[in-house]
Amino acid sequence: DGGITQSPKYLFRKEGQNVTLSCEQNLNHDAMYWYRQDPGQGLRLIYYSQIVNDFQKGDIAEGYSVSREKKESFPLTVTSAQKNPTAFYLCASEGTGTDTQYFGPGTRLTVL
Amino acid sequence: RKEVEQDPGPFNVPEGATVAFNCTYSNSASQSFFWYRQDCRKEPKLLMSVYSSGNEDGRFTAQLNRASQYISLLIRDSKLSDSATYLCVVNNQAGTALIFGKGTTLSVSS
């Protein structure tokens, strides 16, 4: 089946540790996005990539890093520099020529 | 003015009711408009795009007023399964990203 997968679904991390969230899509979409959602809040854009080997900071990029070595994959690393990393992280992809984004099931990150 | 504003609700309605959600956006250059639905602790899913002429999909009708920078979603004959949070979404000025409202929560009861 075509779609977007994120893993793991739940992730626990100790303070001071970096952690990488996986996002894979087989929709042949060029653009991919990472968002963060906090309880009762809207989605906030962390990073996005419109093409392989290129990515741009979103509104809240500090404390995060990404890579886009393959079209299908857009992993997000939450570094120890991120002050409040506990959140619901959503990855999305978008086909060329559309503005419609499709989301993966998300990863819930909890920092202990 | 926030980029995308929605009444957070919650809207509590009985089955069969008609309910309308409103949304305003600040960027007059936005060209793409959407309504997404998000169930509790799940990812957002596209409900419908919003076109200038207005569009309908079954019990759902979306309207766009560019002059007032206003988007609406009307749900007729509400079902229990319509209970969710509805997100108003517009694209940014550069057209490179989407901006999400905080959502309006709907609870339909029997």
Give the closest residue to A53 by CA, choosing from A73, A35, A68: A68
Extract the runs of DSSP E, i.e. beta strands, from B9-110: 11-14, 19-25, 33-38, 44-49, 55-57, 60-65, 70-75, 84-91, 98-100, 104-109
The per-residue pLDDT for A40 is 80
In the predicted model, what is the mean pLDDT of residues A26-46? 93
The per-residue pLDDT for B97 is 85
pLDDT digits (tens, 9 = 90+) for B36-53: 999 999 999 999 999 888
Distance from CA of B32 to the nearest CA of A (A): 7
- Indicate whether A2 pLDDT > 70: no
The per-residue pLDDT for A96 is 79
In the predicted model, what is the mean pLDDT of residues A47-63? 95
Say yes or no for a CB contact (<8 Å) between B46 and A102: yes
Q: What is the mean pLDDT of chain A?
A: 93
The per-residue pLDDT for B1 is 63
pLDDT digits (tens, 9 = 90+) for B1-60: 678 999 888 999 999 999 999 999 999 888 899 999 999 999 999 999 998 888 999 999
Name the residue among B41, B98, B101 with its Cβ closest to that of A99.
B98
Say yes or no for a CB contact (<8 Å) between B98 and A105: no
What are the beta bridge partners of residue B20?
Answer: B74
Mutate to test the interface with A, among B3, B43, B45 (most CBs of A within 10 A): B43
The per-residue pLDDT for B92 is 84
Q: Which residue has the higher pLDDT, A21 or B52?
A: A21
Distance (Å, rounded) from C-alpha A39 to C-alpha B32? Answer: 26
